[in-house]
Structure 1
Amino acid sequence: MKDPIFAGRTAITGIGTSIPPYKLEQDKVFQRIEDSCKYHSDLMRWARRIFRQNGVESRYTVEPDFLRPAGECRYLPDGPGVPVPTTAERMGSYERESVPLAVHAAREAMADARIHPENVTHLITVSCTGQFLPGLDSILLQELGLSMRVNRIPLQFQGCHAGLKAIQLARNIAESTGEHTVLVVCVELCTIHFQPPTSRDALFGASFFGDGASSCVIQAASSRQENVFLLGQGHSVLVPDSREEMIWRVGDHGFDLYLSPAIPKLLKRFLREEIQFLLDDRELPFLWAVHPGGRGIVDAVQDLFALNDAQVSFSRSVLKHVGNLSSATILFVFKEMKNELVKQRKAQAEGISLAFGPGLTAELLAFTYAAKTESPEESRSESMYV
């Protein structure tokens, strides 16, 4: 019988992802940053270090302007005083570009779960990089052919941990009756907020954030499902005395991000206790779906729990190939993990998912990958003979 800490009555039955068409090679982005920093030699030395060590090789953007020759990019001009896009312009880009990415990811998730649009009872939309009304949730209802009576729940401006928070909320909804089917859609356009760097801290965001969307279907587990993530117990925790370590504010020329380099050290100080609380002193599982908020965060988790390279390979691969996509990233990690487990013909494995955001906030969730699931009746029947 499955351990209830790791496997509850609901599951992620389908996952979808999408990325925009414009690929940013890390060396090309650095060239644009270099042009923007040429009047600040101290920033240039810091930028070179960050770009070499952050674990990113490529990212994607909705903005073709980033592909223009160095010095001609409006977001990263090569001199002081050159006008850059206003927040209003950036929100216009968000409204125009976020919808097709979200639609593509949602359709892929529903196809993977083998459900029809009319099966969806709840829609959770997640984003922290843009806003408009009527919102993404109302547009998705029409674009996806969902019922106009679907319960819409937008999670706005929460940060990188919000994707995993949405999964936990969807689990609670689906478990409430066993008849609800929840569609989660995350879309983030981080690159539209790139600005000429004026400090070391401002360089972090420009060095590893990218654009993309992800989606998943969460519903009651049944014996008809294959290759799913059964959702176990989870919780959210606010780290004391850490509110200044990650800041995301609306500015006149986009959203202003501050990331403290001390975040990995903070994680090492509090995370072990939270994992023990989640697992109730059980042994650590093999699977780890860690939000790759940066190379230092993945390193911190790996070091703290003595994980081998294979256990954090999914997080590192996502960071390497698409960067940090804020709330959308965690489902990219789950998708890559699922593909590998299917390839290995793994029958079952327990795991933990972690994501971190402003607050500092940490989301933790235990789960079980299952190549084949069993109905509640089958589970009860099995337990009679244990």
Structure 2
Amino acid sequence: MEDHIFKGRAGIIGIGTSIPPNRLEQNEVFQRIEQSCKKDSDVVRWARRIFKQCGVETRYTCEPDFLEQAGACRYLPDHEGAVVPTTSERMEVYQRESVPLAVEAAREAMAEAGLSPSSVTHLVTVSCTGQFLPGLDTVLAKELGLSRRICRMPLIFQGCSAGLRAVQLAKDIVESNPSTVLVVCVELCTIHFQPPASREALFGASFFGDGASACVVSRVSDGREHVFMLGEGHSVIIPDSEEEMIWKVGDHGFDLYLSPAIPKLLKTFLREEVELLLGEQSLPALWAVHPGGRGIVDAVQEMFELKDDQVTFSRDILKHYGNLSSATILFVLKSMREHLIKQGTERAKGISLAFGPGLTAELLNFSYIQTAGKPFLAGKDAAYVQ
């Protein structure tokens, strides 16, 4: 690929992530669920099955209450009539805990990009697990020392696919006008855990975790190293699927419903959308798939006959951190980039996929380049170059 094609193109030049200090082992979470549902043997049996099959081993939470012994956790009490945290209490936790995580991830991304706060022209903040005013965007601008006149764009309550949507929005901004965009995603999913009232309610409790991620998107100059160049992308709403993923504000947190049929639904439409995105290009080597659950990664791998190492980044993030909603995709891309750097890969093309309420699918082409402007020498990665 000719280097001049990259001129004026947007790329991710810095990525940062952060997690809270409280680590949850999957078997410990199950014990709390089991104790909370001890009078409903059907729910307990279903929980045991889900927890074993979801692909998660550890997660992190901002709420130390989850480290209490089974039965002593306020979010998952073991007796009827127990008072669980109200939505307002959970929003207080969100406001207190989301900001430090978001600041840490943002500072890491800016430092990696070699970026001063005054250089940021746009701030895109993403979250679906809490709200407060003045919003996260306002607080971050102050904490990070950004301009008071910065253009702020909050993406609120859009679910797991919103992280990739924010990256695509940043790309469009940068390529329409010379800009530097800071994207910050923070999700505190665990503060919405509740005693499960149904089998379906167990899905969220089985694999969601807390964390934040950030990236800097700007036009890429020669000499910039280890960049994800951003290509074409699009969103699509899947018809007659709006009831498959539901996220409502309840009296005791946000009530989440996830249909077990979602992986099957992906198989009905995703191939057509990927073919539309790629056009005449062959399938890429790199796949950054949002691990919304083990079944989603399985479905993508099966559909496109991917090798295990092509989805290992998604599976590893799910295994060690769980599903972090909108923040997850940047965790996957960061892990992928670390591997490419270690392997000494010069260039490789890829595709990123994320899914959220709607059902909505986000798709984005990207290319990894080791050094912008450096002549490419054909070698082991030649087949993967755009």
**Separation in structure 1 between the aligned mates of residue 136 and residue 250 of structure 2, nearest angstrom:** 22
Aligned counterpart, 1:204: 203
Partner of 1:218: 217
- Whole-angstrom distance in 2 between the partners of 1:224 and 1:117: 22
Change over 3 Å in CA distance of 1:8–1:191 after alignment to 2: farther
The answer on whether the counterparts of 2:180 and 2:218 sit within 8 Å (CA) in structure 1 is: yes
SS at match of 2:311: helix
After TM superposition, the structure 1 = structure 2 runs for residues 17-36 of structure 1, keeping only pairs within 5 Å, are 17-36=17-36
CA offsets, 1:15-49, max 9 Å, x none?
Answer: 00000000000000000000011010000110000
Q: Which residue of 2 aligns with 1:305?
A: 304
Q: Is the 8 A contact 2:3 2:373 kept in 1?
A: no
Query: 2:7, 2:54 → 1: CA distance?
Result: 34
| Contact in 2 for aligned 1:7/1:366 (Cα 8 Å) | no
Task: Report the TM-score, using the length of structure 2 for normalisation.
Answer: 0.95
Alignment deviations for residues 217-256 of structure 1 (CA, whole Å, 9 cap, x no partner): 0000111310010000000000011000000000000000
Residue identity (%): 71
Is the 1:19–1:211 contact (alpha carbons within 8 Å) kept by the matching residues of 2?
yes
1:238-249 aligned within 5 A: 238-249=237-248
Aligned to 2:384: none
Q: Give the aligned residue type for 1:155.
A: L
Cα deviation digits, residues 59-108 of structure 1 (max 9, x gap): 00000000001100000001222110000000000000000000000000
Q: Measure the CA separation in 2 of the matches of 1:163 and 1:245.
A: 20
Please state how far the C-alpha of 1:4 moved relative to its aligned partner.
11
How far residue 149 of structure 1 moved from its aligned partner, in angstroms, is 0.7
Structure 2: segments with no counterpart, 5+ residues: 375-386
The 5 A counterparts of 1:1-386 are 1=1, 9-177=9-177, 179-374=178-373
Query: How many angstroms apart in 2 are the aligned matches of 1:2 and 1:159?
Result: 37
Measure how far apart 1:358 and its partner are.
Answer: 0.2
Q: What SS does structure 2 have at the residue aligned with 1:183?
A: strand
**Counterparts of 2:50 and 2:5, CA distance in 1:** 39
Contact 2:21 2:61 survives alignment (8 Å): yes
Supply the distance in 2 between the matched residues of 1:73 and 1:269 (Cα, whole angstroms).
41
In the alignment, the residues of structure 2 paired with residue 168 and residue 317 of structure 1 have an alpha-carbon distance, to the nearest angstrom, of 24
Q: Is the 8 A contact 1:181 1:218 kept in 2?
A: yes
* One-letter code aligned to 1:92: E
RMSD: 1.4
Aligned partners of 1:165 and 1:363 also within 8 Å:
yes
> Deviation digits for residues 145-188 of structure 1, max 9, x if unmatched?
111111000000000000000000000000012x2000000000
Query: Contact between 2:7 and 2:221, CA under 8 Å: does it hold in 1?
Result: no
**For the Cα contact (< 8 Å) 2:123–2:183, is it kept in 1?**
yes
Distance 1:22 1:75 in 2: 15
**Aligned partners of 1:147 and 1:231: how far apart in 2?**
26
Aligned pair count reads 374
SS across alignment from 2:235 = strand
Work out whether residues 212 and 325 of structure 1, in 8 Å CA contact, stay in contact via their aligned partners in 2: yes
CA contact (8 A) 1:286 1:311 kept: yes
Specify whether residues 3 and 32 from structure 1 end up closer, same or farther in structure 2 by C-alpha distance, changes over 3 A only: farther
Which runs of structure 1 show a deviation greater than 2 angstroms over 4 or more consecutive aligned residues?
Answer: 1-8
Structure 2 counterpart of 1:203, one-letter code: L
Q: Distance in 2 between matches of 1:296 and 1:126?
A: 25
Q: Offset at 1:319?
A: 0.1
DSSP 3-state at the match of 1:28? helix
1-structure distance, mates of 2:8, 2:83 = 53
Q: What is the CA–CA distance in structure 2 between the aligned matches of 1:199 and 1:6, rounded to whole Å?
A: 51
User: How has the CA–CA distance of structure 1 residues 83 and 150 changed in structure 2, closer, same or farther, with 3 Å as cutoff?
Assistant: same
Give, in whole Å, the separation in 2 of the partners of 1:344 and 1:8: 27
Counterpart residue identity of residue 257, structure 1: L
- Amino acid aligned to 1:341: L
**Counterpart code for 1:153:** M
Q: Which runs of 5+ in 1 are unaligned?
A: 376-386
Partner of 2:378: none
Counterparts of 1:64 and 1:356, CA distance in 2: 30
